[in-house]
Structure 1
Amino acid sequence: MRDILVTLIVLGSLPLILRSPVNGALMWVWISVMNPHTQGWGFATAFPFAMVIALTTLLSLAFTREPRAMPWTPVTLTLLAFVVWMNVTLPFSIFLDDSIRQWQKVMKIMLMTFVCIMLIKSRRDVHRLVWVLAISLGYYGIKGGIFTLRNGGGERVWGPEQTFIGDNNAIALALIMIIPLMFHLRQNSPQRWLRRGLDGAMLLCALAALGSYSRGGLLAIAAMVLYWWLKSGKKAVMGGVLLCAAPLLLLFMPEQWGDRMDSIQNYDMDASAQGRINAWRMAWNLARDRLFGGGFEISDATVFAIYAANPNAVHAAHSIYFQVLGEHGFIGLGLYLLLNWSTWRSASVIIRRAAGHAELDWAASLAAMTQISLVGFAVGGAFLSLLYFDVPYYLMGAIVATRVLVERQLASAKA
């Protein structure tokens, strides 16, 4: 039944995509983030829905009369430079065949990210994009939160298999990132029942993140909440809510959850933590030795034998920063950090320029919540190999579109 439902939704969307390519961009985000076909058990699990959506969107884009100019902002220019550099480093990969396979996946994500940036033009499009992200990840948050309530936190929450968020740590980070976006939707939803539903969804997402037993997720949500409180205009109210909600959530979790979180303090005795540090040292040594890095796939015993302090502890990077460093060298790391800084600065410009304009409150809210979401990703991503996770790139696209809309509206008002 689930396979049929997903198939009907995708096939039913094709005429809408041909009518307007922005519908295809939003469908792509839904397919790539939620991976709804993984929730079935039959033919849909192997059907290339993403390829069908992508090809239909590109076809519609080729013939549409709608505006399709790329907004060349600091964010899009830096993202383009980062993508170009990944293509430059590809021929210098240590394991070229494996790198080409991963390169193909990454370039599909980047291509459709640029398509989304090109097509998201209006406030309505931005709003729909945020809703698609909230629904796609909120589904797993609500499901995981109910699962955690039902078993008393005794079992871990996992994401959909064979996806970016299949690992318990990855699903925790994704759910943490989506909470601020749900809060933005709550602020901009006039219906009372919808606001109450988003309140429940945020609570269940937080509970599911805790139920994942992710130590990196706990650090990410702590950093995000702290930054959120510091930037809040109602520190007393928010502080009171946190003081009431946080202890209840933490006390709900069982003893084994607390034991695992306490192990953060003893990272030097934890094999997993030591394996990650060994992988980080390997990436650092590799980048110092090779200007172009090692390519997309470097988690191999051969590479660790040359560059790692402990050649027998072969691990993935487990860090977005050391992942880009090892795969694309110091130039790649610099471009990636510049990309994130450009996005952050663009969000700050939106907040500053929208101040005092009631009609732009939605833009300031979205920019502020996106910054909070990116704080969670910056902290949690320091312990996960999620460099190519597509959600942060879609948020960058939302910031680009929002800044263009703000500047256009202010210029129009001034004229």
Structure 2
Amino acid sequence: MRDLLVVGIVLIGSLYALRQPWVGVMLWTWLSLMNPHSLAYGFAQTFPVAAIAAIATMIGLLATKEKQSPFSESPAIWLLLFVTWICFTYPFSYNVDGSTEMLSKVLKIDLMILVSLMLLRTRRHIEIFVGVVVFSLGFFGVKGGLFTLLQGGAHRVWGPGGFIGGNNELALALIVVIPLMRYLQLQATRRWAQHGLSVAMLLTAAAALGSQSRGALVAIAAMAFYLWLKSPKKVASGIVMLAVGMALLAFMPDQWSDRMSTINTYQEDSSAMGRINAWWAAFNVATHMIAGAGFEMYNPYIFALYAPVPNDVHAAHSIYFQVLGEHGFIGLFLFMGMWWSVWRTGNWLIRNGGKEPETLWCKHLGAMCQVALVGYAVGGAFLSLAYFDLPYNILVIVILAKRWILNLRSQNQDKIESMSRENSVVATGNPSSAKLSTI
């Protein structure tokens, strides 16, 4: 039944995307984040659902006239530069053949990000897009939160596969999506929706803690601190955050507390020291190879040459050292520049959203996207998720919201100029002059 449901949704959605390609963007986003086919038990697991959705979307893109340049804002330009550099470094990879699969995966994700920027335009598009992102990951948050509560936090919450197959990776994704849930709650007008999203946020936070990820604990603490710092009611918000945090932490078992306490004694933890060893390997690679060592640098040969402990081979476990080792200092500069540009676009939304009453939602969206970026920046320091779709979806969201405000202002200005011309005609009593002025 699950197989028929997933494949049926994909086929119907893909047919609809041929005429309305923005639907294909939503379908692709759902498939790439949630991997619903991995939850099935039969033929859907190997059915090319993502390829079908992408092809239908691209055909619809070619046919529609309702598209725009994806490079109207600086984050998209930084993304283009980053992807271009990745393609340039690919032939210089230590293992070119081994890097091909990952390069193909990254290019597919980034291509669909650019397609999203071309096809999504309206407020309705933006809010549906945010809703799809929240549903795709919130499903695992609610499910994992219930599991944590029912099991008393004794067992770890694991991801569905793909980028977020591990407990640590899933925890970061859940943390990053919580602020987007909060945005939807701010826009909700029905009490049941507001309360439902409150429950979803609490369960998602419980699931993140239930993953027993130390990086997730640090990331969620950083997000909470940033929220408190920006809150206009610091005392009230601080009390609420403290109460919720203490309630969740009190629920977790002793084994969870014992694992979290190793943050202070990381020198004695083999996993933590293995990550540090991989960080040094990435740094040393970047100092010797301007293009880095490519996606497949985590092997005994590279570590024998560049790691302090040659036989301790680990993945980078950090978005920063991951990009540094794989694509060198130039790649890291472009990667950091892209996210700094996304942050600044969020700032622009906060400053400009609300200047017109109908743009207040953009202010809320920009603020929550910044909170999500704090979670990604802090939690990503301990995980290899540099190419994961979710943060790039945030890039799409802030660009679309800024473009929406600029388009609204342009339309309002056109209306003002039109009214001014009409008033001048009435004042002069010469309708022919109006015709001349509008040519």
Shorter chain as denominator, the TM-score bin is over 0.9
Q: CA deviation at 1:89?
A: 0.3
Give me the whole-angstrom Cα distance separating, in 2, the residues matched to 1:311 and 1:214: 26
Deviations 1:99-124 (A, max 9, x none): 11211111111111111111111111
The CA deviation at 1:132 is 0.2
Distance in 1, matches of 2:184 and 2:3, equals 30
Is 1:340 the counterpart of 2:359? The answer is no
Q: How far 1:330 sits from its partner (Å)?
A: 0.2
Q: Which residue of 1 aligns with 2:131?
A: 131
1:383 paired residue number: 382
The yes-or-no answer on 1:271 pairing with 2:262 is no
> What secondary structure sits across from 2:18 in the alignment?
helix
State how 1:16-415 maps to structure 2 within 5 Å.
16-161=16-161, 163-414=162-413, 415=416
Answer whether contact 2:153 2:251 (CA < 8 A) is retained. yes
TM-score, structure 2 as length reference: 0.93
Could you tell me how far 1:53 is from its partner in structure 2? 0.2
Cα separation, 1, equivalents of 2:190 and 2:10:
28
* 2: CA distance, partners of 1:355 / 1:193: 26
CA contact (8 A) 1:156 1:211 kept: yes
Question: 1:5 matched to which residue of 2?
Answer: 5
Deviation at 1:239, TM superposition (A): 1.1
Name the stretch that deviates more: 218-227 or 3-12: 3-12
Q: CA deviation at 1:242?
A: 1.2
Distance 1:393 1:298 in 2: 24
Contact kept, 8 Å, 1:71 with 1:400, in 2: the verdict is no
Asked which structure has the greater CA Rg, the reply is: 2
Partner-residue secondary structure (3-state), 1:265: coil
Deviations 1:60-94 (A, max 9, x none): 11111223332421111111000000000001000
List gaps (5 residues or longer) in structure 1: none
Matched AA of 1:168: N
Q: TM-score, normalised by structure 1?
A: 0.98
Letter in 2 for 1:401: L
Give the superposition deviation at 1:7. 1.1
Work out whether residues 75 and 395 of structure 2, in 8 Å CA contact, stay in contact via their aligned partners in 1: yes
Shift of 1:233: 1.8
CA distances 1:274-294 after superposition (whole Å, capped 9, x unpaired): 000000000000000000000
**Residues 157 and 212 in structure 1, CA contact (< 8 A), matched pair in contact too:** yes
Higher mean C-alpha deviation, range 188-197 or range 379-388: 188-197
Work out the CA distance in 2 between the residues paired with 1:75 and 1:382: 21
User: Is the 2:15–2:56 contact (alpha carbons within 8 Å) kept by the matching residues of 1?
Assistant: no
Give deviations 1:233-269, integer Å, cap 9, x for gaps: 2222211211221111000000000000000000011
- SS of alignment partner, residue 311 of structure 1: coil
Matched residues in 1 for 2:293 and 2:27: separation?
34
More displaced 10-residue stretch of structure 1: 236-245 or 45-54: 236-245
SS at match of 1:264: coil
SS at match of 2:7: helix
Q: Which residue in the other structure is 2:433 paired with? A: none
- Partner of 2:420 in structure 1? none
Could you tell me how far 1:408 is from its partner in structure 2?
Answer: 2.1
Code of the aligned partner of 2:156: R
User: Which structure ranks higher in relative contact order (CA pairs < 8 Å, sequence separation ≥ 6)?
Assistant: 1
The letter for the 2-side match of 1:101 is E
Report deviation, 1:356.
3.3
Q: Distance in 2 between matches of 1:243 and 1:219?
A: 15
Distance in structure 2 (CA, Å) of the matches to 1:101 and 1:179 = 31
Tell me how far apart the structure 2 counterparts of residues 4 and 236 of structure 1 sit (CA, whole Å): 51
Q: Let me know the Cα RMSD of the aligned residues.
A: 1.0
Give the Cα separation in 2 of the matches to 1:413 and 1:240.
42
Q: Give the letter for the 2:35 counterpart.
A: N
Q: Which amino acid aligns with 1:88?
A: F
Aligned mates of 1:246, 1:127 — CA distance in 2: 29
Whole-angstrom CA distance in 2 between matches of 1:358 and 1:154? 48
Aligned 8 A contact 1:90 1:96 in 2: yes
C-alpha contact (below 8 Å) 1:287/1:329 kept by paired residues? yes
Alignment partners' CA distance in 2, 1:355 and 1:7: 42
Counterpart Cα distance in 2 of 1:232 and 1:174: 24
* 2:437 matched residue in structure 1: none
Contact 2:69–2:117, Cα closer than 8 Å, also in 1: no
> Contact 1:169–1:384 at 8 Å: present in 2 too?
yes
* C-alpha separation in 1, matches of 2:321 and 2:67: 39
Distance in 1 between residues matched to 2:410 and 2:352, nearest whole Å: 11
State how many pairs are aligned: 414
Q: 1:154 is paired with a residue of what secondary structure?
A: coil
Q: Equivalents in 2 of 1:374, 1:142: separation in Å?
A: 21
Percent of aligned positions that are identical: 49
